[in-house]
Amino acid sequence: MIDLVIRGGQVIDGSGSGATPGDVAIDAGRIVEVGPSLTLSARRELSADGAYVTPGFVDIHTHYDAQVLWDPLVSPSSEHGVTSVVIGNCGLGLAPVRPPDRPAVQRLLGGVEDIPQDALDEGIQWSWENYPEYLKALDSSPRSVEVGALVGHAALRVYAMGGERAYRDAARPDEIAEMADQLRQALAAGALGLSTSRSPLHCDCDGRSTPSYFALDEELNALAEVFRSEGRGVIELSFRGSAGDDPDAIEGELAWMRDFAVRAKRPVTFGIAQLDACPDRWKLAYDRALDARAVGIELRPQTLGRMQSVLVGLQTVHPFAYRPSYLALGELPLAERVQRLRDPALRQRILSEEPLPAPENDPFAVLFDYAGDRVFILDENPDYEPGPEKSLAALARREARPEIEVLYDLLLEEDGQSLLLYAVANYSAGDHGVAYEMLSHPCSLMGLGDGGAHCGLICDASVPTFLLTHWSRDRQRGPRFPIEWIVHKQTADPAALFGLKDRGLLRPGLRADINVIDFSQLQLERPRVVHDLPAAGRRLVQGARGYVATLVAGQITREHGRDTGARPGGLARAHAV
């Protein structure tokens, strides 16, 4: 007798093939058989009548580095069918680290990824120094998802050079050798690869650019040689100008990426979006990736698969934050702040003021102009491809009022808890035409959800659900994708690239990481602000309805939207190709 049979579902196996009716048999955490009307006896049967049965989703771009140490649910990703997450992206990470440098590494993670320092202070229980010890700590913490890790280049630099020189100097030969040795140890212990950042906008809490920004070619080439000799791993990076700060840098950066991939003999993946200032520049990256693939070089641009957006609200970001009269009440509890903001005299004073300069540790503030045609109302069932009629500009025209006044009043709705959608990338034409082009490109890779990061800005960890509902069912403003293709892009495709050969497909012998989805009922909920991080830290979360069950290693971790208490998730290790 085996452990479990999922019966009567429409099986989408992750390969890109269409759905077929069938059962999935599971024993000892592995799939033992897939097919119609299986006769195996099981200790439990799970009905999938009318539902899709898919592999669990693999989210390869998260920043749960700290959260996985205190949150066994790894939420909200686990609420969206995600069964494996990859941490250590964008050059960041918590290992290797010497005890005196722990504050520097922590302040870098918190600064770049907008994670409250109080939460990190209270939530991280340091018990490691080198990377193998860190992986052991990850593996020993029970949780509901599997966690794989990239080695953050910034942490390597701090470990080899110390917490001061790493932020300004070129590495000496002995320091480069130390970084290479630490990377080699990490890969041998099961790290999935390396991440680095070449962006000066990636700053710690003190406004210092990330240490990896200061790495010269000699250092980077030495790390590439480790990959060449080990023959495993993937390289993830943020390139110069990726946030629009230096759009002309992309040609040189793409050439460097290709050279690095050749030196390392390993895939390189990077995030890129359409920017309003240069709306066609993203195509260059996809063209170069296709050219590289033609000669056996793997460059994989990551796309979010929808507009990149910021959630505007009194508890997140808004255009009044640095106006003097608002600053005077910015630390008040929300209810008291809302009451004060409703005062007509104060309202008029704030509306008439010019903002003060943003502090250095808020580099993105200058990039947000809150243009009325880019700010949208969020309905109860969130629409991430809103038309112009849902914009702040349209609402202001209908009410014959200035946009800034309408925005002020919208922020006070729902007792100050309302959130608006502000499109900052991938939406220059006001629709998802560019997102469709990116998704359909043969080199594209699903990523950039940033789960665990930008706690006061975004909640894109919900993208796995959005991709299914929007692109395979609900889209009205352009073509859709078959659901089997969307499933493939979230399962077998990322799993294979990151060396996770034991998952991503519903095949005998592979891990039983599985979703059962009532597609007719699948629906994103509205995002909301909660204060459930350590030290009552703030973050944005977003739930979903319609997941009948999620299984990790054959154990049901969520059933009908509820956590079951099962914690089968461990460390996801790469498998050498």
For residue range 347-374, what is the model confidence (pLDDT) as tens digits?
999 999 999 998 876 766 777 899 999 9
> Which carries the bigger pLDDT value, residue 246 or residue 535?
535
pLDDT for 548 equals 98
Q: Determine, yes or no, domain membership for 286.
A: yes
pLDDT for 463 equals 98
| Chain segment 265-294, per-residue pLDDT in tens | 999 999 999 999 999 999 999 999 999 999
Residues 139 and 190 in one domain: yes
Round to whole Å and give the CA distance between 421 and 104: 33
Average pLDDT over residues 437-444: 98
Helix (H, G, I), strand (E, B) or coil at 244: coil
For the question of whether the overall pTM of this predicted structure is more than 0.95, the answer is yes
pLDDT for 536 equals 97
| Chain segment 505-520, per-residue pLDDT in tens | 999 999 999 999 999 9
Average pLDDT over residues 375-388: 96
Residues 231 and 186 in one domain: yes
| Chain segment 136-168, per-residue pLDDT in tens | 999 999 999 999 999 999 999 999 999 999 999
pLDDT for 576 equals 47
Residues 168 and 292 in one domain: yes
Round to whole Å and give the CA distance between 309 and 313: 13
pLDDT for 362 equals 74
- The answer to whether the beta carbons of residues 575 and 501 sit under 8 Å apart is yes
Residues 121 and 145 in one domain: yes
Q: Determine, yes or no, domain membership for 372.
A: yes
| Chain segment 476-508, per-residue pLDDT in tens | 999 999 999 999 999 999 999 999 999 999 999
> Which carries the bigger pLDDT value, residue 447 or residue 331?
447
Q: Where are the beta strands (DSSP E) in 430-500?
A: 445-446
Q: Determine, yes or no, domain membership for 114.
A: yes
Residues 212 and 321 in one domain: no
Over 50: is that where the pLDDT of 338 sits? Answer: yes
Residues 178 and 283 in one domain: yes
Round to whole Å and give the CA distance between 28 and 258: 42
Over 90: is that where the pLDDT of 73 sits? Answer: yes
Q: Determine, yes or no, domain membership for 572.
A: no
Task: Specify the number of domains making up the chain.
Answer: 2
Residues 255 and 180 in one domain: yes
- Domain with 319 in it: 312-425
Percentage of the chain beyond pLDDT 90 is: 95
Over 60: is that where the pLDDT of 317 sits? Answer: yes
List the one residue out of 53, 55, 4 whose CA is nearest residue 26.
4
**Dihedral, CA of residue 155, residue 157, residue 161 and residue 166, to nearest 10:** -100
pLDDT for 577 equals 39
Q: Determine, yes or no, domain membership for 81.
A: no
Residues 448 and 340 in one domain: no
| Chain segment 525-545, per-residue pLDDT in tens | 999 999 999 999 999 999 999
Round to whole Å and give the CA distance between 53 and 169: 52
Over 90: is that where the pLDDT of 247 sits? Answer: no
Residues 354 and 408 in one domain: yes
Q: Determine, yes or no, domain membership for 465.
A: no
Round to whole Å and give the CA distance between 269 and 439: 15
Residues 115 and 239 in one domain: yes
Round to whole Å and give the CA distance between 63 and 451: 6
| Chain segment 9-54, per-residue pLDDT in tens | 999 999 999 999 999 999 999 999 999 999 999 999 999 999 999 9
Residue that finishes a domain, picked among 405, 425, 445 = 425
pLDDT for 574 equals 84
pLDDT for 243 equals 83
Q: Determine, yes or no, domain membership for 529.
A: no
Percentage of the chain beyond pLDDT 70 is: 99
Residues 437 and 418 in one domain: no
> What CATH number should be reported for the domain holding residue 282?
3.20.20.140
Residues 295 and 356 in one domain: no
Q: Determine, yes or no, domain membership for 327.
A: yes
Average pLDDT over residues 432-448: 98
173-189 and 153-161 helices cross at what angle (nearest 10)?
130
